Amino acid sequence: MADGSERWIATITVALLRRGRALQLASLVLILLACFSALANPLLLLGVLLSAAAEAWFAFRVAFDADLFEALARSEGDLAGFDAAMRALGLMPPERQVGSIADRAKRAVRLLMWQAACLVLQTGIFAAGSIGPWLIGIFA
């Protein structure tokens, strides 16, 4: 890397992105709970599964980016070589403008936030589908 701060940015980004595993685990727990509730409310299961599918896609991307940032943190910071390899594998469009390691880290952390948002949506669907009818029955 060009300087020590870029290595630290990559290392901190890896640490943040690794938290995506906990989000993925929580999503899997909600899927299991929704499966148990599916007999009473099949739409609950459908909603949880759809939001879980989106969360799983973001989880995959977050884990992939964590591995890439880990490699960048251990490397000499050859971002041009990294970009060329990504383009050669078809993982980055040729016209994409790339930025500094800090810009890349911000984009990767944004994926983690989207993963968390999908988990919040999944939790909301589960709560509305499983607890909502019970609360309506109490207050009706």
Q: The tokens 């909603």 sit on which residue? A: 47
Number of domains in the chain: 1
Structural domain including 10 reads 4-139
CA 15/CA 20 separation, integer angstroms: 10
In the predicted model, what is the mean pLDDT of residues 64-79? 88
Q: List pLDDT tens digits, range 43-65.
A: 888 999 999 999 999 999 999 99
Closest CA to 131 of 60, 41, 61: 41
Q: List pLDDT tens digits, range 78-120.
A: 888 888 889 999 988 888 878 889 999 999 999 999 999 999 9
Residues 6+ apart with CB under 8 A from 123: 30
Q: What is the pTM of this model?
A: 0.86
CA 137/CA 76 separation, integer angstroms: 62
- Looking at per-residue pLDDT, the higher value among 92 and 131 belongs to 92
Q: What is the mean pLDDT of the chain?
A: 88
